[in-house]
């Protein structure tokens, strides 16, 4: 069992720069996700159109992920990270065209929606690369004995920025409108790049001419399937969160069921991240020391039950509390899953394993958004959310009963 050194990792200046840059870029991404969900629903009034946002991003992201892992392992990481930053700035900048010129150029709601889907398709390609890079860089920046704490702090940074991004996105949309919110998002991504510039370069130990791309990608997939703890953790992420993605329907709940407007939407959208932020901050000081595998299975089950409660609630504050509790349970799950993947992966294959990990994450989040939109169209919004929570509980029970290595896992 590894010893933890809470908060000691923050003494590392390079690690602080990495986390600060990540804070600003995730803040921007969460504000963008909030903005797009609200914008598209106001344009179409169709829950299914929200699901298509996720599908537009996840198809290119998943398609490119394995190749992205190969590229990350074979190339200098800092340069790739900065390239992805500036690609995002360019692509999000394209959304300023309909945001500022929709009235002058007489764009219809459907034309703007299709344009948004097109831009998000290309951000999905960039996401395939930027998603795994930061987790790949962490083990080279911190000592191995500090790695579990670094993973926890990385997730805490992610969730704090998610909370701020979801809430700020709702408030900025409500008070300043879509176009000015987009400008803030672009500025935040540029600000992130200033911190990434201060990182040291991380070169690959491979000689590129000796590496076959297909063999390289197969090596990453093979390693995951041979390591049952990683496979079980990733399956929980993909399938459980795939069906438990109630967050995608929050614009519908805020507008039509709870009737709380843009400001209430922003807070409701941040609720699960508030819960996650609180619990991960606690875990960075008081880490889990044993039975992490059993705890992982228990919290995923509890997460599903909270989603069922949210789906059935018609009271704003009760809905908010169900999402906060779901976030607390998911936060514990994220820390355990992330630590398992980092500790069980050797350095030479980390980019490819993290890229496969990103496929599972993107499949669960963006495909979850699509699944929520589709099931809402077929079953109705409330029944679709309850169905998703029920499936999450069942999947946790199946994984727990069929993967004894994950169940007995502790670090």
Is a pLDDT exceeding 70 seen at residue 205?
no
Q: What is the mean predicted confidence (pLDDT) over 161-188?
A: 86
Domains, the chain, in order of start with CATH, read 8-197+221-407 (1.20.1250.20)
* pLDDT of the residue at 207: 56
pLDDT digits (tens, 9 = 90+) for 110-125: 788 889 999 999 998 9
Place of tokens 């900025």: 172
d(CA 175, CA 177): 6
Confidence of residue 1 (pLDDT cuts 50, 70, 90): very low
Predicted TM-score (pTM) of this structure: 0.73
Contact 173, 34 (CB under 8 A): yes
Phi/psi region, residue 130 (left: phi>0; alpha: psi -120 to 50; beta: rest), is alpha
Residues 6+ apart with CB under 8 A from 214: none
Residues 6+ apart with CB under 8 A from 105: none
Place of tokens 């400008």: 183
């Amino acid at each position: 069992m590894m010893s933890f050194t809470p908060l000691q990792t923050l003494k590392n200046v390079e690690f602080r720069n990495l986390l600060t840059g990540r804070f600003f870029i995730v803040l921007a991404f969460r504000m963008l996700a909030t903005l797009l969900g609200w914008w598209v629903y106001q344009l179409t009034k169709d829950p299914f159109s929200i699901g298509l946002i996720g599908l537009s991003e996840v198809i290119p992201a998943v398609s490119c992920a394995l190749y992205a892992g190969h590229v990350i392992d074979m190339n200098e990481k800092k340069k790739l990270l900065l390239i992805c930053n500036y690609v995002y700035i360019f692509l999000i900048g394209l959304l300023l065209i309909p945001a500022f010129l929709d009235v002058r150029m007489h764009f219809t709601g459907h034309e703007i929606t299709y344009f948004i889907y097109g831009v998000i398709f290309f951000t999905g390609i960039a996401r395939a690369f930027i998603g795994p890079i930061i987790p790949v860089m962490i083990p080279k920046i911190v000592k191995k004995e500090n790695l579990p704490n670094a993973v926890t702090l990385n997730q805490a940074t992610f969730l704090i920025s998610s909370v701020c991004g979801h809430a700020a996105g709702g408030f900025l949309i409500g008070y300043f409108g879509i176009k000015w919110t987009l400008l803030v998002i672009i500025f935040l991504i540029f600000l992130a790049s200033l911190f990434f510039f201060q990182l040291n370069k991380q070169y690959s130990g491979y000689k590129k001419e000796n590496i076959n791309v297909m063999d390289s990608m197969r090596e990453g997939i093979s390693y995951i399937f041979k390591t049952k703890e990683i496979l079980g953790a990733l399956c929980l992420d993909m399938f459980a969160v795939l069906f438990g993605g109630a967050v995608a329907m929050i614009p519908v709940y805020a507008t039509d069921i709870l009737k709380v407007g843009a400001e209430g939407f922003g807070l409701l959208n941040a609720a699960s991240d508030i819960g996650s932020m609180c619990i991960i901050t606690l875990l960075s000081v008081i880490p889990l020391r044993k039975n992490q595998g059993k705890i992982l299975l228990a919290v995923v089950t509890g997460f599903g039950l909270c989603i069922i409660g949210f789906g059935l609630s018609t009271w704003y504050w009760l809905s908010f509390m169900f999402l906060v509790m779901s976030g607390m349970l998911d936060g514990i799950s994220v820390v355990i899953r992330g630590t398992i993947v980092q500790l069980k992966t050797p350095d030479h294959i980390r980019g490819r394993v993290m890229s496969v990990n990103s496929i599972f994450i993107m499949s669960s989040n963006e495909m979850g958004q699509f699944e929520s939109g589709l099931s809402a169209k077929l079953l109705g919004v409330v029944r679709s959310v309850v169905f998703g929570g029920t499936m999450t509980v069942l999947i946790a029970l199946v994984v727990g009963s069929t993967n004894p290595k994950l169940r007995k896992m502790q670090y």
